[in-house]
Amino acid sequence: MSDYKISCTGIVGDGCGGGREFIIENEILFAHDPQSGKNITLLEHIKGAKTISKKACILYVECEKERFEFDLSLMKRIS
């Protein structure tokens, strides 16, 4: 289990999740809302995460052995 975090911040006005920080920490992807201070778990068991980025409503996650997308409007992994 990894004990570091990688993150990206959604730009306000750029689709879903604007202004929220998207974080992978300890193999868990979650969204952090800075206004409420709450975290929402989006996906678990992410092995070997290296990078995360966001464009519109899609989070792009690159891991050591795979790359996948998470659709924030559907709230699920799509590839």
Kindly report the CATH number assigned to the domain that includes residue 64. 2.40.10
55: which strand partners?
58
The neighbour count for residue 29, using CB atoms within 10 Å, is 22
Residue 63 located in a structural domain: yes
pLDDT at 5: 79
Residue 65 located in a structural domain: yes
Residue range of the domain that includes 49: 5-72
Residue 78 located in a structural domain: no
Q: Which amino acid is located at 38 in the chain?
A: K
Selection from 32, 34, 50 nearest residue 42 by Cα: 32
Mean pLDDT of 44-62: 96
Residue 79 located in a structural domain: no
Is 2 a residue whose pLDDT tops 70? no
Mean pLDDT of 49-56: 95
Residue 36 located in a structural domain: yes
* Structural domains in the chain (count): 1
Q: What is the pTM of this model?
A: 0.89
Residue 34 located in a structural domain: yes
Mean pLDDT of 10-33: 92
